[in-house]
Amino acid sequence: MKYLIFGANGQLGSKFAEEFTLNGVDFSAYGSDECNISEYNEVKEVLQADKPSVILNCAAYNLVDQAEINNVPAFLVNQKGAENIAKAAEVDKTFFVHFSTDYVFDGTKGTSYTELDRTNPINEYGKSKLAGENIISDILDNYLIFRLSWVYGKGRRNFIFKLLQWASTNNSINITSNETSIPSSTDMIVSATINAIKAGLNGLYHLTPNGKASRFEWAKEVVRHLSLKVQLNPVEIEHFNLPAKRPPDTSMSNNILSKEIGEFHDWKYYLRGFLTEV
């Protein structure tokens, strides 16, 4: 089996590449500078040249506030890019694995979202990711879509990296307390994705650990584990006056997926594993 990774330079794509390299798995990987997924011909040429068995689309435009100011780049990558890969995959009958987000929900349910719940994104980033989901399911019958939340790993575009940067230059940091979801490590996502592919799963799944946390609770766990000398102050998201609205609680249930590939641990378990390498 040969894998093809789009978004190879991001924290999720690079984790897949690392895992495949360590285990001698055949794969090829492309960053945005090597293949622009918003251009169909570039995607088609890559698939024709590499002839993969499985495509992993880790490419995403996830600058939430910038997408609110100008949504064109977000829709080019998150919708048009997904459409181009799906069309090329359909031609070659290649299995397509795509990663989406909890931001397809408005966060007002009050309990964990399931795959059957109605989507209602409240910002442009969430709308662009939902558009990508919908176009994939319209084009393909053979695919996996995983909705993820609060992804972190090796890289600079995640909350933990930002928190450590803030802590290195500040004695006190304000962190939102009314924004809740589930921190998810790239280690866990990669392992679960590979297991799901091996199990022959198809369709839409929520891929998260157990439990949930506010950003403030997540930050407290990082600070405690690393013994950082910084004071954390809980504030409401409105304090930051950000361009994009954030859904208050987008925690998702992994019950359907866990019945297929095995139970997940609590989010703190995976976080501890990651922080031992920081």
* CATH number for the domain harbouring residue 21: 3.40.50.720
**Rounded distance between C-alpha atoms, residue 34 and residue 126, angstroms:** 26
**Rounded distance between C-alpha atoms, residue 125 and residue 197, angstroms:** 27
* Sequential pLDDT tens for the chain (278 residues): 999 999 999 999 999 999 999 999 999 999 999 999 999 999 999 999 999 999 999 999 999 999 999 999 999 999 999 999 999 999 989 999 999 999 999 999 999 999 999 999 999 999 999 999 999 999 999 999 999 999 999 988 899 999 999 999 999 999 999 999 999 999 999 999 999 999 999 999 999 999 999 999 999 999 999 999 999 999 999 999 999 999 999 999 999 999 999 999 999 999 999 999 87
Residue 257 domain boundaries: 2-157+184-212+251-266
DSSP string, 192-218: HHHHHHHTT--EEEE---BS-EEHHHH
Inside any domain, residue 85: yes
**What's the predicted TM-score (pTM) here?**
0.97
Q: Degrees (nearest 5) of the Cα angle 262, 96, 77?
A: 115
CA dihedral 275, 204, 194, 214 (to 10 degrees): 10
Inside any domain, residue 175: no
Inside any domain, residue 83: yes
Helices 40-50 and 82-92, axial angle in degrees (round to 10):
40
Number of domains in the chain: 1
Strand partners, 185: 152
Instruction: Look at phi and psi of residue 24 and say left if phi exceeds 0, alpha if psi is from -120 to 50, else beta.
Output: left
